[in-house]
């Protein structure tokens, strides 16, 4: 499923004194199979954008748009696969089955007595009417999901989600979303508040899902290393607009613009910069492995020159 957004705008509390423009004419296309990153300063509209992707926030309905169209030229478009989200009649529950969404701090959405019941929540909700999955099927799917997020089902399935650690809770919450095998998985800062090791583990998990469980992954993140390391492409949000969209390889080549937007740059890009100032130009894609290979490659070259 491909995601196409054109001229998307969103205002919170519209037509009140508290109105806040969160999205301003955003146009993006996310191809199937991508590992897509969304970065930007706090308050730049990232969460607002991703909440549109499964219809939690809606565009103005097409009727209203037609009325408005006379005044303004462009009308917003948002399509996810064959779903047209600007249409009021769209079956949003069916859409949500295909677009899984993991919110910031998802562990705060847990509610059931046992981990197994909580993970099964989505599965039972999305089951078609009259075709309730058997207990066997549910159990199998839940166990599979728990295994996928790295929790041993035998040990955790019967536990209360509230007696787990923060990181474990988050895994349960992620399992509760991926259990329906959505085609697109959207994650809003999935690693926020975890320690470096926990972050790494979550990112590794996402790689495991990508392609196999979920064709497309869209991830909102503040961690540039994460973006550089994992994403096929990334969009930079600033004050509700997309100011840049490129693969990390190109995105982090020019670091000044990012810094002026108040964004960090990946460690590897900083290293490349520092080396460049000292006269060593390194061409790499800003992943750790890429960097190491590039440096080793140069070292090997030097070695050969030295021997000659």
Partner 1 sequence: MKDVAFGQYYPARSFLHNLDPRLKILFLIAYIVAIFLAPSTNFYGLAACAFVLILAVIFSRVPVLKVLRAVRGVLFLLVFTALLNVLFHGGETVYWSYGILRITREGIIFSAILALRLMLLVTFSSLLTYTTTPVALTDAIESLLTPLKWIRFPVHELALIMSIALRFIPILSEETDRIKNAQKARGADFEHGGPIAKVRAFVPILIPLLLCAFRRADELGDAMDARCYMGSKNRTKYKKLRFSWRDIIAFFVGAALITGVVLIRIYLGAPL
97's contact among partner 1, ligand ATP, Mg ion, none, with CB below 5 to 8 A by partner kind, is partner 1
For position 48 contacting ligand ATP by CB under 6 A, the verdict is yes
96's contact among ligand ATP, Mg ion, partner 1, none, with CB below 5 to 8 A by partner kind, is partner 1
The window from 46-54, 223-231, 254-262, 274-282 that contacts Mg ion (CB under 5 A) reads 46-54
Nearer to partner 1, 215 or 233 (CB): 215
- Determine how many CB atoms are found less than 10 A away from the CB of residue 252: 23
12's contact among Mg ion, ligand ATP, partner 1, none, with CB below 5 to 8 A by partner kind, is ligand ATP
Question: Which residue from 47, 180, 216, 230 is in contact with Mg ion, where contact means CB under 5 A?
Answer: 47
For position 42 contacting ligand ATP by CB under 6 A, the verdict is yes
For position 22 contacting ligand ATP by CB under 6 A, the verdict is yes
Please tell me the count of residues contacting ligand ATP according to CB under 6 A. Answer: 12
Nearest approach, Cβ of 263 to Mg ion (angstroms)? Answer: 15
Taken as a whole, the chain contains a residue count of 308
> In whole angstroms, how far apart are CA 204 and each of 10, 34, 153, 272?
33, 16, 19, 25
- As a whole number of angstroms, the distance between CA 1 and CA 30 comes to 9
Nearer to partner 1, 122 or 248 (CB): 122
Type and span of the H or E element at 275: helix 267-277
- As a whole number of angstroms, the distance between CA 130 and CA 141 comes to 19
Please tell me the count of residues contacting Mg ion according to CB under 5 A. Answer: 1
122's contact among partner 1, Mg ion, ligand ATP, none, with CB below 5 to 8 A by partner kind, is partner 1
For position 55 contacting ligand ATP by CB under 6 A, the verdict is no
Beta bridge partners of 39: 236
Are the beta carbons of 32 and 2 closer than 8 angstroms?
A: yes
Q: Hey, is 137 helix, strand or coil?
A: helix
**Can you tell me which residue has the tokens 């981990």?**
115
> Which of these, 298, 261, 305, 267, lies nearest to 282 by C-alpha position?
298
Nearest approach, Cβ of 69 to ligand ATP (angstroms)? Answer: 25
Burial of residue 142 (number of CB atoms within 10 Å: 0-12, 13-18, 19+):
buried
Nearer to Mg ion, 105 or 126 (CB): 105
Q: Which residues lie near ligand ATP (CB under 6 A)? A: 12-13, 20, 22, 40, 42-48
């Amino acid at each position: 499923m491909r995601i196409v957004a054109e001229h998307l705008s969103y205002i919170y509390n519209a037509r009140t004194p508290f109105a806040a423009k969160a999205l301003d004419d955003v146009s993006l296309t996310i191809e199937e199979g991508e590992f897509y990153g969304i970065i930007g300063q706090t308050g730049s509209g990232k969460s607002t954008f991703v909440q549109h992707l499964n219809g939690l926030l809606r565009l103005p309905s097409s009727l209203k748009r037609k009325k408005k169209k006379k005044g303004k030229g462009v009308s917003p478009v948002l399509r996810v696969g064959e779903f047209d989200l600007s249409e009021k009649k769209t079956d949003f529950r069916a859409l949500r089955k295909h677009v899984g969404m993991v919110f910031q701090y998802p562990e705060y959405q847990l509610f059931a007595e046992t981990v197994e019941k909580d993970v099964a929540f989505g599965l039972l909700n999305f089951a078609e009417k009259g075709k309730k999955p058997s207990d066997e099927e549910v159990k199998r799917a839940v166990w599979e999901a728990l295994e996928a997020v790295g929790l041993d089902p035998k040990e955790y399935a019967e536990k209360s989600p509230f007696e787990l650690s923060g990181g474990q809770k988050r895994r349960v919450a992620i399992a509760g979303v991926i259990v329906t095998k959505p085609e697109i998985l959207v994650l809003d800062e999935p690693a926020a508040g975890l320690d470096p090791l926990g972050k790494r583990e979550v990112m590794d998990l996402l790689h495991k899902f990508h392609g196999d469980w979920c064709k497309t992954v869209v991830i909102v993140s503040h961690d540039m290393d994460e973006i550089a390391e994992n994403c096929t492409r990334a969009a930079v949000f600033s004050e509700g607009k997309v100011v840049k969209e490129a693969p990390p390889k190109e995105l982090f080549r020019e670091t000044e613009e990012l810094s002026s937007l108040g964004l960090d740059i990946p460690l590897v890009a900083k290293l490349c910069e520092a080396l460049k100032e000292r006269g060593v130009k390194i061409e790499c894609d800003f992943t750790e492995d890429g960097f190491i290979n590039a440096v080793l490659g140069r070292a090997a070259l030097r070695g050969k020159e030295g021997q000659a």
